[in-house]
Structure 1
């Protein structure tokens, strides 16, 4: 026979309050950090909202992982992604470590877009409704991954706050430069070796030692972003850096830093595949040592950034996701429908880089645009002749 009072809740505390009513002391997350909606691992933003949605369904860049961005040609779309990544870290109060450039590289970072891209969204709303009738109704939702697959989250996480109440992903303006008043973090830059001097020493070991010392001397809640733009580029590194014993050892050390500090570090590296194709053993090893591999293929006869406000933005290149972070090694992650499709990207000053599924335009639309441009050019020539 039990002597417990009948009015006392079983499993409650001593004062009669239920256990669920006891407040929990949750550990506060650092600015710009939020848990993954899939498995709860900590993630941060890459500074590009559409790229965050591509990373295995985590809606962010998982901490303790790296991304290798390969780009062919003479364009610098990968460098633009790295500048977004670094600018996001400085705005969030993170420490950014850059290899290959000095502290003046901060002047190339884009500024915060205080308007939040309202101009671009308002221009889309003002578009005539007749444009929707040019294509069949079943193609209307082709550019919207959420309509085709409800498991894919919305590609605008800037409106979703972090658990701490801050903004997870900011909007940036490429036409302006990041002001000192908006910077909350620190930038640690280490220039590459002097190419003209012909010195056999590489900055890889010094950079790794500097990053490790900075991480150990910082508080455990500080997030560190490692940025390596144009790795093995002849303009930044000497020929000795291309040796496998130097290059692969640096990638192994970089991977060791990410595994040693899995809750504080992320890394993003760009590699020119025009100089080091994917068929070479050096690039293959680099892909194996990276957690995620993305390849940017610029389309010919496309400008790097569309500047005309009235002109419709077109795809400027293709994107191939060869592997995604936290999908093959530690487990977890969700391979969304985007990674199985042909992806494209376009870059503009207002909306930044946007990654969407690639689709061909409707038949006849390109011919109509070409005729309209030809008519406009003829009108301009007639006006110039009359003015003369």
Structure 2
């Protein structure tokens, strides 16, 4: 069996959950002797460039970030169309929602739906992707099968798009962190006590309300800091909020790779995820893999993913956020208990399991 994947999630995105999902899936399928092909020529994606498994060429942003991405995306799209027309594959798995391929593939395609944030909340978070609900509806209707990354996301698909439940297969994410081997000599400088926030900080991520909730905690516990891993430098709104809350010396942002991020999890008092909504939440599994206590928003898929291996708070209640985080700061035995429960829970997720379940979906449509 040969599975063809396309360029959409990889062209200009250096890091990100969707591109990481597809990269890990392709690599793990190859380990199972399943032929996978990625139709792409040019990419600045770190997972592709650093692995050497896929032959891609990086490119400079000589027209500016967005215009250059659009140019190379168009080049990659033409290449993907050429691969589709050759018809030398069994199943096509597009990596995002552009419908360019509908006119060019005669084989079945499988679509992964990652989250309903834009489709559920509309204009509030409308900038998350460029695909309209109508366009997604068209692709979901045409797909041979749909993969949802959580039961919560499957429920959203049924409610928002009217997709029949039997057409949807839930395949949970996994993380390569479970197999990460870091040399003991690789160490990083970190504060003696810190909380860890990971990834993007926009809108539904609830970052600034999270800071407001924590401001009294930082005053109460002057030894505790907050590290924000990834997500880029603080924007002007974030910088202003940090300054107004008097937290300039207590919060820092760090660029990361897998080794740095693993060590940040490993040495943190806790990983905190205050998001209002997610499709899955891969950082939860990363934290479990690194033996990091987890404190989560009680929202969307989080209880499904973490079950009893996390402490939960109401993401819209400053007092509840503060109370739960202060619990984990103060209670060594609670942190040890969360780490142990995370070790047990992480056994339910693996890249091999994710790939096997996805392969079963491919086999169903061939």
- Which structure carries more strand by proportion? 1
Higher-helix-fraction structure: 2
Q: TM-score, normalised by structure 1?
A: 0.32
Q: Which has the higher contact order (CA 8 A, sep 6+)?
A: 1
Give TM-score scaled by structure 2 length. Answer: 0.34
